[in-house]
Chain A
């Protein structure tokens, strides 16, 4: 068929997990000294949906970016292990990393308004991704892009192919983004707040599409978000981050058994329909959480 098949060359590395992260640290030098955004994050990922939850500044996005290889140039990344399919991402040559990025690991960013190229038609920028990684003819590429746009439930993909990003809505822009990221059939997808910029009612449609594609194609997914409830309803497993560290790891089904005071505080401070709590409980941040 038209789609790339990610499971073809699995045999050689069946033993290794899709992604193994051990003691990942990301440090930024600043005028006032070093700031460590990620301080020793470890996890392994198979073909599953993993959620990373935390508030702004917790290091959740920097964790995703370090795996993708998109951390700012002046930052220092160290890890005992950062392996994708058994291959060390940190020590491999840049050209090899570039080959993996987009082809085997792809990333969906938050806001389609800023992450799509505004002066290139939607079709052309998806074709660009495809042609960077695969040798295909122009006609074949177009055909595959249109099939891909169809699979993210864009009606009339032939018309959307020739539109510019500003001519489509936010929800459609994010579906274009998903199409662009999945066109090369990646094995690992990192989604950094994929629906936060969208209207609430559109969010569920986009998540639905993402969910179907991820399970159909057997990808691993890292879902980065600030919304604990959303993530736990979408993912199999959740890491809760605070001040650059993982403070709690939970199976989504066990959300009610969360024990870390930060996780409990996060769950507790949301106003919900039908609960009548005035004032709302607020987080009492303990300094020892960030030790």
Chain B
């Protein structure tokens, strides 16, 4: 088995409410794994529990051969796993320049060749050196999301957790960001775990997907199943209908 992320019986509870109810999941090295589900189904909670932003109560998490529990993650974990968030307006520090934002992860992990790395990271996400000393309010939504991706890639991780990376962006900008992510994946052999409510985006980016509902994984299917409609969960069907637009019944 070459599962790079392996989740077994993960449980996350808030008081009496089980946000993740014994979820198990395997993500292979180098694949793009999609997660879909309605609001409150636990898809973002899953990413947050994996990344250590929120802890989990029981179960096991194995990432690249190391086992983690609760909320504690090692520095090495963050060299392997980085995350990109939904809202580029909320995920960048408003009083730091792009340079400062990108320096932060490098400083934490003790890199010394910061200048070269920051310049290269900006270049890789298609922003020139001219953006280096701007503040995030001087950037458009798409440019901010590029910075967020640069910040995630600058540590050369193996796994990217993507939580609705394009749902706050215009359709034309979404295409640019998706292309950028695919390019980065090809160049670096990354593994993606991507949460989205847009089945078009998921089927474009991912090879397999899991459907979640009320904190449980309802089914895991290959992306081709969306095309041939070989899935059993009701919610997947509803999503599929929704993705086809409004029709007068």
User: Interface stretch among B13-21, B129-137, B172-180?
Assistant: B172-180
Q: Is B74 located at the chain interface by the 8 A CB criterion?
A: no
Interface residue ranges of B120-148 to A (CB < 8 Å) = 141
Within the complex, what minimum Cβ distance (angstroms) separates A55 from chain B? 4
Within the complex, what minimum Cβ distance (angstroms) separates A212 from chain B? 9
Residues of A with C-beta under 8 A to B39: 170, 199
Give A273 to B198 CA distance when docked, in angstroms. 10
Give A200 to B38 CA distance when docked, in angstroms. 8
User: Contact: A55 with B171, CB < 8 Å?
Assistant: yes
Question: Which of B179, B199, B239, B246 lies at the interface centre, i.e. has the most chain A CB atoms within 10 A of its CB?
Answer: B246
Residues of A with C-beta under 8 A to B241: 204
Give A277 to B179 CA distance when docked, in angstroms. 10
Residues of B with C-beta under 8 A to A281: 175
User: Interface stretch among B3-11, B22-30, B154-162, B200-208?
Assistant: B200-208
Residues of A with C-beta under 8 A to B171: 55, 226-228, 266, 269-270
Q: Is B112 located at the chain interface by the 8 A CB criterion?
A: no
Question: Which of A170, A271, A281 lies at the interface centre, i.e. has the most chain B CB atoms within 10 A of its CB?
Answer: A271
Residues of A with C-beta under 8 A to B239: 200-201
Interface residue ranges of A247-274 to B (CB < 8 Å) = 265-266, 269-274
User: Contact: A282 with B242, CB < 8 Å?
Assistant: no
Give A19 to B246 CA distance when docked, in angstroms. 26
Name the CB-closest residue of A to B235.
A201
Give A199 to B179 CA distance when docked, in angstroms. 25
Within the complex, what minimum Cβ distance (angstroms) separates B95 from chain A? 20
Partner of B243, one of A200, A207, A226, A275: A200
Q: How large is the interface on B (under 10, 10 to 19, 20 to 34, 35 or more residues)?
A: 35 or more
Name the CB-closest residue of A to B240.
A273
Give A250 to B200 CA distance when docked, in angstroms. 25
- How many chain-A residues does the 8 Å CB contact rule pick out? 35
Partner of A203, one of B172, B199, B242: B242
User: Contact: B203 with A200, CB < 8 Å?
Assistant: no
Q: Is A211 located at the chain interface by the 8 A CB criterion?
A: yes
User: Contact: A266 with B172, CB < 8 Å?
Assistant: yes
Give A233 to B249 CA distance when docked, in angstroms. 12
Residues of A with C-beta under 8 A to B174: 269-270
Q: Is A16 located at the chain interface by the 8 A CB criterion?
A: no
Residues of A with C-beta under 8 A to B197: 199-200
Q: Is B226 located at the chain interface by the 8 A CB criterion?
A: yes
Q: Is A155 located at the chain interface by the 8 A CB criterion?
A: no
Residues of A with C-beta under 8 A to B182: 278-279
Q: Is B238 located at the chain interface by the 8 A CB criterion?
A: yes
Binding site of A, secondary structure by majority: helix, strand, loop or mixed? loop
Name the CB-closest residue of B to A235.
B246
User: Contact: A273 with B199, CB < 8 Å?
Assistant: yes
Q: Is B75 located at the chain interface by the 8 A CB criterion?
A: no
Name the CB-closest residue of A to B242.
A200
Q: Is B187 located at the chain interface by the 8 A CB criterion?
A: no
User: Contact: B38 with A273, CB < 8 Å?
Assistant: no
Give A233 to B243 CA distance when docked, in angstroms. 12
Within the complex, what minimum Cβ distance (angstroms) separates A110 from chain B? 13
Give A271 to B204 CA distance when docked, in angstroms. 6
Within the complex, what minimum Cβ distance (angstroms) separates A153 from chain B? 14
Name the CB-closest residue of A to B204.
A271
Residues of A with C-beta under 8 A to B90: none
Q: Mark A42-63, 1 if CB is under 8 A from B, else 0.
A: 0000000000000110000000
Give A279 to B178 CA distance when docked, in angstroms. 8
Name the CB-closest residue of A to B203.
A273
Interface residue ranges of A146-204 to B (CB < 8 Å) = 170, 199-201, 203-204
Give A204 to B245 CA distance when docked, in angstroms. 8
Partner of B178, one of A207, A271, A272, A283: A271
User: Contact: A280 with B178, CB < 8 Å?
Assistant: yes
Residues of B with C-beta under 8 A to A136: none
The 11 listed contacts between A and B (C-beta, < 8 Å) are A56-B141, A201-B242, A204-B241, A211-B246, A233-B246, A269-B171, A269-B174, A270-B200, A271-B205, A273-B203, A275-B204
The interface of chain B, by Cβ under 8 A from chain A, is: 38-39, 141, 170-176, 178-179, 182-183, 197-201, 203-205, 226-227, 235, 238-243, 245-249
3 smallest CB-CB distances across A and B, nearest first, come from: A271-B204, A233-B245, A269-B175
The interface of chain A, by Cβ under 8 A from chain B, is: 55-56, 170, 199-201, 203-204, 207-208, 211, 226-230, 232-234, 265-266, 269-275, 277-283
